[in-house]
C-alpha cells in the first residue's frame, strides 16, 4: 500500500502565504459557523497545521481581529481607487457590515491596545470625507449629505444588525439598507 505524498514543509518561506490562507479560511468558516468556528477547522481549511495557526494567531480574538483588519484593508483599497465614488464606498461598507456582523459582535470595543484597525479605518473615513466633498465623486448620493449623516446611518445599520438574530439578519439588512437609500440618495 502506498502512503499519500506529504506536502513539503517550506518552513518560514511559507509564512506569509500561510497567514493569508488562514485569514481566507477564517473568513469562510466564520461566515459558515460564526465567530465560534473551531480553530482546528480553520487550520484544516487553510491547509496548514494547528501549530501554524497558533504561530500567527495566539487566540481566537486575534483571528477575528485579523479578518476584520483584512476587511478594513479591502475597504481602504477600494476607497483609494479614483473610480470609486462615495456611493460605491458606502455600499461596500454596508455589505461588509452585513457579512461581518457576527465578527463585529465578537470584537472587544473596550480593547484600546489593539490599534491595527484604527489607522486603516481612519484612512477610509478621510477618503470618504474627500469623496463626499467632491460632487463628481458622489455617484447618486444627495449633494447635501454630510459625513456625520453617513456615519449616523451606518452606525444605526450596524447596531440594528448586531441586535438582530442571525436567522433574520439578511432580511433586516435589506430593509435597513432600503431606508438608507431613501435617506442618502437622490430620488
What pLDDT was estimated at residue 127?
Answer: 94
CATH placement of domain 11-58: 1.10.10
**Cα gap 133→182, rounded to integer Å:** 20
Q: Is residue 182 over pLDDT 70?
A: yes
C-alpha cell at 8: 513539503
Instruction: Express each pLDDT in 52-110 by its tens digit.
Output: 999 999 999 899 989 988 999 999 999 999 999 999 999 999 999 888 887 777 766 55
Domain ranges of the chain: 11-58, 61-184
pTM for the whole structure: 0.81
Q: What share of the chain is helix, strand, coil (3-state, %, to 5)?
A: 70, 0, 25
Q: Is residue 181 over pLDDT 70?
A: yes
Instruction: Express each pLDDT in 120-158 by its tens digit.
Output: 788 899 999 999 999 999 999 999 999 999 999 999 999
Instruction: Determine the angle formed by the axes of helices 60-80 and 15-33, rounding to 10 degrees.
Output: 100
Band of residue 6 on the pLDDT scale cut at 50, 70, 90: very low
**Cα gap 179→101, rounded to integer Å:** 19
**Cα gap 117→126, rounded to integer Å:** 14
Q: Which residue has the cell 461596500?
A: 92
From residue 63, how far is each of 21, 35, 106, 108 by CA, in Å?
12, 9, 11, 13
Instruction: Express each pLDDT in 22-43 by its tens digit.
Output: 999 999 998 888 888 999 999 9
What pLDDT was estimated at residue 89?
Answer: 96
Amino acid at each position: 500500500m502506498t502512503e499519500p505524498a506529504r506536502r513539503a514543509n517550506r518552513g518560514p518561506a511559507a509564512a506569509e502565504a500561510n497567514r493569508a490562507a488562514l485569514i481566507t479560511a477564517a473568513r469562510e468558516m466564520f461566515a459558515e459557523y460564526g465567530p465560534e468556528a473551531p480553530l482546528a477547522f480553520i487550520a484544516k481549511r487553510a491547509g496548514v497545521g494547528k501549530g501554524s495557526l497558533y504561530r500567527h494567531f495566539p487566540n481566537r480574538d486575534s483571528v477575528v481581529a485579523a479578518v476584520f483588519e483584512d476587511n478594513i484593508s479591502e475597504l481602504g483599497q477600494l476607497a483609494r481607487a479614483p473610480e470609486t465614488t462615495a456611493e460605491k464606498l458606502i455600499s461596500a461598507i454596508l455589505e461588509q457590515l452585513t457579512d461581518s456582523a457576527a465578527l463585529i459582535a465578537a470584537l472587544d470595543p473596550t480593547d484600546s491596545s489593539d490599534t491595527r484597525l484604527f489607522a486603516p479605518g481612519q484612512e477610509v473615513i478621510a477618503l470618504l470625507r474627500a469623496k463626499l466633498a467632491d460632487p463628481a465623486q458622489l455617484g447618486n448620493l444627495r449633494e447635501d449629505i454630510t459625513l456625520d449623516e453617513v456615519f449616523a446611518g451606518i452606525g444605526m445599520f450596524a447596531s440594528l444588525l448586531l441586535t438582530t438574530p442571525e436567522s433574520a439578519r439578511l432580511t433586516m439588512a435589506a430593509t435597513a439598507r432600503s431606508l438608507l437609500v431613501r435617506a442618502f440618495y437622490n430620488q
